[in-house]
Amino acid sequence: QPNAMGGREVGGLANMLAAHCDIENPEHCENVKAFWQSPAMPECGGLKAVDLFSAMDAGQIKFVWIMGTNPVVSMPYREQVESALKKCDMVVVSDIVQSNDTLAFADIALPATGWSEKDGTVTNSERRISRQRGIMPPPGEAKHDWQIMCDVANKMGFASGFSYSHPSEIFDEHARLTAYKNDGARLLNLARLTGKSQAQYDAMAPVQWPLTINSDKTLSAVRPFHNKVFSTPTGK
């Protein structure tokens, strides 16, 4: 939950695209497709968590990759979640422990990193982006989630889209996408944070968006919706 806003910023919901782009907005879909040079884009939102496990229980989903959560414990209707995972042909779980209620159903378990090992950014509910700096090296064969996804993408033939070597590269791509063809309708615009070197990224202080640049070249936050116009199709 401390990074729930950050998850939304990068499109970590079934009904959103990255950079606060609307999956039901054809222009947004084309912009994200062009930026990522993607051969295809989803035409509608996917299944949300409860519906996902209902579809899995009905045999409509054959593969699931669970990261950073323990749905057998955290989801409602535990019996249905367990039934769904039993029926699913392939269950992959990335976690930081050796066993838990969800890992009991895993066909493949991948060792991930915990909060004291992770390196990246988090965004809290007031839109403040903060650097998360690991204080311990990953133990054993554990890898960061982004490294695991890059490894899988490379094996699947998508190396060109996942050739990251440091989280600063991922953040820069994210920041550039928030600014891409953004005419101001989307408040999430991190153009001021693009182009940082690895050292500058490592030293980045917490910053709140929307952003403006001051006369002394420092950044400061702008109060959103001060003009009483909201980020909806009608502005209301």
- d(C-alpha 8, C-alpha 17), whole Å: 9
Q: Which of 169, 117, 168 is nearest to 145 (CA)?
A: 117
Give the largest Cα separation in the chain, rounded.
60
CATH number of 46-221: 3.40.50.740
Alpha carbon 109 to its chain centroid, in Å, reads 21
Residue 208 is given by DSSP the state E
Residue count of the chain: 236
Cβ contacts of 29 within 8 Å, gap of 6 or more:
17, 21, 23, 41, 42, 43
What angle is formed at CA 164 by the lines to CA 15 and CA 91, rounded to 5 degrees?
50
Count CB neighbours of 138 within 10 A: 19
Q: Are 132 and 118 in contact (CB under 8 A)?
A: yes
- d(C-alpha 228, C-alpha 236), whole Å: 8
Cis omega before residue 210 (within 30°)?
Answer: yes
Instruction: Give this prediction's pTM.
Output: 0.91
Predicted local distance difference test score (pLDDT) of residue 206: 95
Predicted local distance difference test score (pLDDT) of residue 229: 85
Bridge partners, 109 (sequence order): 93
The runs of H, that is alpha helices, within 156-197 are 167-179
Q: Are 109 and 95 in contact (CB under 8 A)?
A: yes
Predicted local distance difference test score (pLDDT) of residue 188: 94
Predicted local distance difference test score (pLDDT) of residue 35: 97
Cβ contacts of 61 within 8 Å, gap of 6 or more:
47, 52, 55, 84, 88
- d(C-alpha 42, C-alpha 44), whole Å: 6
- Tokens 């550039």 sit at which residue? 176
Predicted local distance difference test score (pLDDT) of residue 1: 63
- d(C-alpha 7, C-alpha 69), whole Å: 13
Predicted local distance difference test score (pLDDT) of residue 95: 98
Provide the residue-wise pLDDT of the chain in tens; the chain has 236 residues. Answer: 678 899 999 999 999 999 999 999 999 999 999 999 999 999 899 999 999 999 999 999 999 999 999 999 999 999 999 999 999 999 999 999 999 999 999 999 999 999 999 999 999 999 999 999 999 999 999 999 999 999 999 999 999 999 999 999 999 999 999 999 998 888 999 999 999 999 999 999 999 999 887 777 778 888 888 888 888 878 88
